[in-house]
């Protein structure tokens, strides 16, 4: 394998991993704190994409400013994340201390409803707004043209979100409260932390992250019915391989899956589709708890 | 005593049987129904709804107009729509329910090749006429002897052989080719046929990459990078819907379409959506001879009126699935008329209707279609063109439109396609010349 191909495959892999990480991050973050496996996370991705594209179509047309386009993408993601996150949280409120399977089924039901809602609002024809990609231009590396949006912006946004989330959890009161609830909900409640409020905050932050993944994907991909289902399956592969609730683990696993996928395209295209799941199966066979899950003390 | 009672009883029984037999032909004629219920399976959910929903709109328009004009021999048509997006098992039970409980006499099914393969034997079992209206797989009819299953359009073999002939006509000197198809049955099968025929007709072409990204993939960056490194003369894709749009947009944004000649065998469906993303000079196929600006039919009164009405209703121009739906319903109407005529003006039963489909010649919105009597396969002309800018539309339209007749590029009845494509010789290039459509 030539060094050119090695570099090109790495660049493609990093770009893809950035997007994958953002979506998986929301899923793993929610599970880490409120212990709910949110199947409707795929809908958050889809609505984030559609919301951002709609804002771009309404207000972004005619504007040449990349800043305006980026602001619209982020606004769309936040709006959709807050609304759907709140709706999901309200739905799950009645099932808070019930069997986790029941909670999973509620999110699955919500996912099906959101799918229909999405079709009712945006129809079935592919939908996209690509202004920001054109505004950010292209770069040429070793004779291959890259979109700056995919090469720099998406991986940069993923890293920025990662560090911002780390800072939020470690350095702010709300973040530390989230960490406390994650470690021990009962003790945190006994110390005066409103675990329900923290649960809601976590759910909304996680929902915004999923939605942001969709919003950042929307300028390069076509939004179609079913797009949420595709992404949720891939996100589960990342989260299961990393270990549920592992933020740094999700970043590294997304990178691993992104890179292995792009190397496959160059070296063994027939394995491209199965690679994320192959990695997941191998990881689960060797470490069923996931690559980055730490040993936890059992409560008695 | 016993003998005297037995004789009149036997006589009565024989008389009753004789009367019964004499009246049989009258019972064989089906009573003319108040309405003709037909089942239509189409994707109303999932990614294939990009085809399914426009086709449903087309069916609604067609049936409204047909009923307004009095229906078929005075019988109004009542459609029952079934969503193919629910999955194979549920579709199968819905299909049975529509036929057995709701009393559908004709089924128009399906878009998905997998669904066609599943439903064809069921239709045969239920003795209900099934029109394969959009699926491409040749395997749905090949190797089977169906009496109730017919296809009102071409199959994948016709489409792919015609595609190879067209490519070799417009670009006879290319040396390298790469393929980027969706990783599912259609993507794989269409490439198998295309590559087998290409190997026969131009063996010196080198296939530099065979890429099958995941169905519904949102990112083609690695594929585009690899193609930029390989720089093939031709990039072929039989992808459709959101996948095709995403691939073309990412390839176009990164300048790949300037380096390689793109051939999008199902590209007609994406022209309007891709707008100006699609550059000039891309080769486009249409899965049939349908195109809303077809030089032959753009001014045909019925076609023109339909395009206008469809655009008013949906805000879009019709794509091939729309034409296939109209073609299936026109086929059904033509078969009913033929069967009624053959039945002395009486409404036909299922068997008579099925018989009328064999060897049926009819016209949808574009060229006439012939249904082969031997296997029920439709012969449908194939249209290709090259993208060009137009002052009248915000998206690329087709120029230099060429047509390939179906008869010589379709597997003969009784033969297996995978064997037949290996017998194709370069002589076919002389025998079947893609013809310019009349301007």
pTM above 0.80, yes or no: yes
Q: Do B246 and A220 touch (CB under 8 A)?
A: yes
Q: Is residue B24 part of a domain?
A: no
Peptide bond into A290 cis (omega under 30): no
Higher pLDDT, A6 or B200: B200
Q: Which pLDDT value is given to residue B12?
A: 57
Query: In the predicted model, what is the mean pLDDT of chain A?
Result: 87
pLDDT at B66 over 80: yes
| Helices (H), ranges, chain A | 3-34, 41-55, 66-93, 100-122, 131-136, 148, 154-171, 173-183, 185-190, 195-217, 227-242, 247-267, 275-286
Domain check: are B105 and B46 in the same one? yes
Q: Which pLDDT value is given to residue A299?
A: 62
Kindly identify which residue of chain A lies nearest to residue B188, measuring between CA atoms: A270
Tell me which residue of A31, A37, A195, A203 sits closest to A106, measured CA to CA. Answer: A37
Which of B52, B212, B250 is the closest to A269 by Cβ?
B212
Contact criterion met (CB below 8 Å) for B235 and B180: yes
B149-151 and B206-211 strand pairing: unpaired
Q: Which pLDDT value is given to residue A1?
A: 55
Domain check: are B280 and B400 in the same one? yes
Q: Do A130 and B277 touch (CB under 8 A)?
A: yes
CA distance A178 to chain B (A): 33
Contact criterion met (CB below 8 Å) for A44 and A231: no
For range B223-231, the mean pLDDT: 91
Domain check: are B182 and B279 in the same one? yes
Q: Do A266 and B250 touch (CB under 8 A)?
A: no
Q: Do B249 and A220 touch (CB under 8 A)?
A: yes
In tens, the pLDDT along B127-138 reads 999 999 999 999
pLDDT at B27 over 70: no
Test mutation, A226, A267, A268, A277, chain B, max B CBs within 10 A: A226
Domain check: are B250 and B102 in the same one? no
| Phi-psi sector, B376: left (phi>0), alpha (psi -120 to 50), beta | left
In tens, the pLDDT along A128-167 reads 777 888 889 899 888 889 999 989 999 999 999 999 999 9
ipTM field? 0.80
Distance between CA atoms of residues B376 and B374, nearest Å: 6
- Chain B interface, Cβ < 8 Å to A: 44-47, 49-50, 52-53, 183, 209-214, 216, 218-219, 221-223, 225-226, 228-229, 241-243, 245-246, 249-250, 253-256, 273, 277, 316
Residue B141: is it exposed, middle or buried by C-beta count within 10 angstroms (0-12/13-18/19+)? buried
Which of A13, A144, A222 is the closest to B246 by Cβ?
A222
Q: Is residue B1 part of a domain?
A: no
Kindly identify which residue of chain A lies nearest to residue B210, measuring between CA atoms: A269
B11: Cα separation from own chain's centroid: 57
Which residues does chain B have within 8 Å of residue A150's beta carbon, measured at their own beta carbons? 221
Task: Provide the token pair at B260.
Answer: 């390689």
pLDDT at B6 over 70: no
The structure tokens 């003709």 sit at B36
Which of A134, A145, A227 is the closest to B255 by Cβ?
A145
Domain check: are B274 and B365 in the same one? no
Residue that finishes a domain, picked among B337, B353, B376: B376
- What's the CATH code of the domain at B193? 3.40.50.2300
Strands laid side by side in the B283-285 sheet: B206-211, B176-180, B234-237, B261-264, B283-285, B382-388, B397-404, B435-436
Q: Do A273 and B213 touch (CB under 8 A)?
A: yes
Q: Distances in Å between the alpha carbon of B319 and those of A105, B42, B289, B402?
A: 39, 15, 11, 18
Domain check: are B58 and B126 in the same one? yes
Q: Is residue B10 part of a domain?
A: no
Which residues does chain B have within 8 Å of residue A126's beta carbon, measured at their own beta carbons? 50, 241-242, 245-246, 273
Distance between CA atoms of residues A6 and A10, nearest Å: 6
Q: Is residue B30 part of a domain?
A: no
Domain check: are B257 and B366 in the same one? no
Q: Is residue B312 part of a domain?
A: yes
Q: Do A123 and B53 touch (CB under 8 A)?
A: yes
Task: Provide the token pair at B258.
Answer: 């300037």
Q: Do A8 and B47 touch (CB under 8 A)?
A: no
Q: Which pLDDT value is given to residue A295?
A: 65
Confidence of residue B437 (pLDDT cuts 50, 70, 90): low
Which residues does chain B have within 8 Å of residue A4's beta carbon, measured at their own beta carbons? 229
Q: Is residue B3 part of a domain?
A: no
Q: Do B225 and A12 touch (CB under 8 A)?
A: yes
Residue that finishes a domain, picked among B376, B397, B422: B376
In tens, the pLDDT along A220-260 reads 888 888 888 878 888 889 988 998 788 899 999 999 999 99
Q: Is residue B29 part of a domain?
A: no
Which of A4, A262, A269 is the closest to B210 by Cβ?
A269
Which residues does chain B have within 8 Å of residue A143's beta carbon, measured at their own beta carbons? 228-229
pLDDT at B117 over 50: yes
Structural domains counted in chain B: 2
Domain range for B371: 35-154+299-376
Task: Provide the token pair at A200.
Answer: 């809601």
Tell me which residue of A63, A4, A15 sits closest to A261, measured CA to CA. Answer: A15
Which residues does chain A have within 8 Å of residue B216's beta carbon, measured at their own beta carbons? 224, 226-227, 230
Q: What are phi and psi of B211, to 5 degrees?
A: -110, 130
Which residues does chain B have within 8 Å of residue A267's beta carbon, measured at their own beta carbons? none
Query: In the predicted model, what is the mean pLDDT of chain B?
Result: 90
In tens, the pLDDT along A19-40 reads 899 989 999 888 888 888 888 9
CB atoms closer than 10 angstroms to residue B427: 9
Q: Do B222 and A266 touch (CB under 8 A)?
A: yes
In tens, the pLDDT along A92-138 reads 888 877 888 888 899 999 999 998 899 889 887 788 777 888 889 89
Residue that finishes a domain, picked among B376, B392, B418: B376
Which residues does chain B have within 8 Å of residue A269's beta carbon, measured at their own beta carbons? 209-212
Tell me which residue of B323, B293, B405, B31 sits closest to B152, measured CA to CA. Answer: B323
| Phi-psi sector, B221: left (phi>0), alpha (psi -120 to 50), beta | alpha
Q: Which pLDDT value is given to residue B139?
A: 92
Q: Is B261 helix (H, G, I), strand (E, B) or coil?
A: strand
Higher pLDDT, B30 or B256: B256
Which residues does chain B have within 8 Å of residue A261's beta carbon, measured at their own beta carbons? 222
Which residues does chain B have within 8 Å of residue A220's beta carbon, measured at their own beta carbons? 218-219, 246, 249-250, 253
Q: Distances in Å between the alpha carbon of B230 and those of A12, B179, B225, B423?
A: 16, 12, 9, 31
Which residues does chain B have within 8 Å of residue A11's beta carbon, measured at their own beta carbons? 225
Q: Do A272 and B214 touch (CB under 8 A)?
A: yes
Domain check: are B46 and B122 in the same one? yes
Distance between CA atoms of residues A209 and A24, nearest Å: 9
Q: Is B36 helix (H, G, I), strand (E, B) or coil?
A: strand
For range B3-21, the mean pLDDT: 49
Q: What are phi and psi of B38, to 5 degrees?
A: -125, 140
Q: Do B223 and A265 touch (CB under 8 A)?
A: yes
Share of chain B above pLDDT 70, in %: 92
Contact criterion met (CB below 8 Å) for B120 and B141: yes
The structure tokens 């690695």 sit at B222
Residue ranges and CATH numbers for the domains of chain A are 3-286 (1.10.3470)
Domain check: are B364 and B403 in the same one? no
Domain check: are B51 and B89 in the same one? yes
Q: Is residue B79 part of a domain?
A: yes
B368-371 and B378-379 strand pairing: antiparallel
pLDDT at B22 over 50: no
Domain check: are B273 and B205 in the same one? yes
Q: Which pLDDT value is given to residue B195?
A: 96
pLDDT at B3 over 50: no
In tens, the pLDDT along B234-274 reads 999 999 988 898 899 889 988 899 889 999 999 999 999 89
pLDDT at A278 over 50: yes
Kindly identify which residue of chain B lies nearest to residue A226, measuring between CA atoms: B46
Which of B44, B226, B241 is the closest to A266 by Cβ?
B226
Domain check: are B52 and B108 in the same one? yes
Which residues does chain B have within 8 Å of residue A222's beta carbon, measured at their own beta carbons? 241-243, 245-246, 249
């Amino acid at each position: 394998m030539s060094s050119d191909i090695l570099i090109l495959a790495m660049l493609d892999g990093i770009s893809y991993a950035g997007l994958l990480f953002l979506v998986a991050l929301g899923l793993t973050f929610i599970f880490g704190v409120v212990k709910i496996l949110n199947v409707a996370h795929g809908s958050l991705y889809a609505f984030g994409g559609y919301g951002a594209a709609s804002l771009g179509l309404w207000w972004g047309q005619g504007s040449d400013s990349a800043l305006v386009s980026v602001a619209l993408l982020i606004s769309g993601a936040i709006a959709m994340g807050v609304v759907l996150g709140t709706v999901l949280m309200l739905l799950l409120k009645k099932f808070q201390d019930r069997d986790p399977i029941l909670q999973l089924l509620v999110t699955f039901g919500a996912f099906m409803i959101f799918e229909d809602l999405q079709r009712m609002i945006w129809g079935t024809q592919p939908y996209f707004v690509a202004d920001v990609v054109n505004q950010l231009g292209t770069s040429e590396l070793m004779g291959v043209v890259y979109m700056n949006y995919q090469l720099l912006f998406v991986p940069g946004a993923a890293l920025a979100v990662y560090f911002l989330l780390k800072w939020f959890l470690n350095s702010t009161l709300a973040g530390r409260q989230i960490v406390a609830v994650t470690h021990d909900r009962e003790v945190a409640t006994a110390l005066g932390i409103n675990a329900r409020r923290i649960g809601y905050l976590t759910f909304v932050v996680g929902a915004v992250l999923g939605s942001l993944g969709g919003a950042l994907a929307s300028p390069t991909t076509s939004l179609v019915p079913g797009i949420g289902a595709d992404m949720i399956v891939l996100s589960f592969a990342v989260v299961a391989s990393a270990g549920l609730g592992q933020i740094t683990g999700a970043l590294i696993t997304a990178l691993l899956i992104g890179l292995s996928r792009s190397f496959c395209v160059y070296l063994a295209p027939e394995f491209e589709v199965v690679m994320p799941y192959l990695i997941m199966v191998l990881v689960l066979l060797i470490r069923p708890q996931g690559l980055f899950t730490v040993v936890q003390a059992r409560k008695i | 005593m016993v003998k005297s009672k037995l004789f009149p009883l036997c006589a009565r029984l024989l008389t009753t049987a004789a009367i019964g037999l004499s009246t049989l032909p009258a019972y064989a004629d089906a009573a003319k129904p108040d309405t003709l219920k037909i089942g239509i399976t189409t994707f109303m959910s999932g990614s294939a709804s990009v085809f399914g929903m426009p086709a449903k709109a087309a069916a609604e328009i067609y049936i409204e107009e047909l009923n307004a004009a009095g229906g078929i021999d005075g019988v109004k048509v009542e459609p029952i729509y079934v969503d193919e997006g629910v999955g194979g098992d549920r579709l199968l039970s819905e299909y049975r329910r529509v036929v057995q409980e709701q009393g559908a006499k004709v089924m128009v099914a399906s878009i998905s090749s997998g669904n066609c393969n599943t439903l064809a034997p069921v239709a045969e079992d239920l003795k209900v006429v099934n029109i394969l209206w959009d699926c491409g797989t040749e395997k749905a009819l090949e190797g089977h002897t169906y009496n109730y299953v017919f296809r009102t359009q071409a199959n994948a073999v016709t489409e792919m052989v015609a595609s190879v002939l067209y490519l070799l006509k417009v670009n006879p000197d290319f040396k390298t080719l790469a393929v980027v198809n969706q990783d599912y049955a259609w993507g794989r099968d269409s490439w198998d046929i295309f590559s087998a025929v290409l190997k026969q007709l131009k063996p010196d072409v080198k296939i530099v990459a065979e890429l099958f990204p995941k169905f519904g993939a949102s990112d083609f960056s690695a594929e585009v990078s690899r193609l930029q490194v390989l720089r093939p003369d031709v990039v072929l894709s039989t992808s459709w819907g959101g996948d095709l749009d995403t691939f073309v947009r990412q390839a176009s944004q990164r300048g790949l379409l300037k380096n390689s000649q793109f051939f999008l065998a199902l590209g007609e469906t994406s022209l309007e959506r891709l707008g100006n993303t699609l550059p000039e000079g891309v080769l486009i196929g249409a899965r049939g001879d349908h195109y809303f600006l077809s030089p032959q039919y753009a001014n045909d009164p019925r076609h023109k009126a339909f395009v206008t009405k469809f655009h008013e209703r949906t805000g879009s121009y019709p794509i091939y699935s729309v034409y296939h739906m109209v073609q299936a319903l026109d086929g059904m109407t033509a078969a009913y008329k033929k069967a009624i005529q053959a039945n002395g003006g009486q409404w036909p039963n299922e068997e008579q209707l099925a018989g009328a489909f064999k060897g049926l010649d009819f016209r949808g919105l574009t060229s006439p279609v012939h249904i082969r009597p031997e296997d029920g396969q439709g012969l449908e002309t194939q249209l290709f063109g090259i993208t060009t800018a137009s002052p009248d539309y915000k998206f690329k339209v087709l120029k230099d439109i060429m047509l390939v007749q179906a008869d010589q590029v379709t597997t003969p009845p009784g033969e297996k396609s995978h064997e037949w494509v290996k017998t194709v010789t370069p002589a076919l290039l002389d025998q079947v010349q893609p013809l310019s459509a009349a301007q």
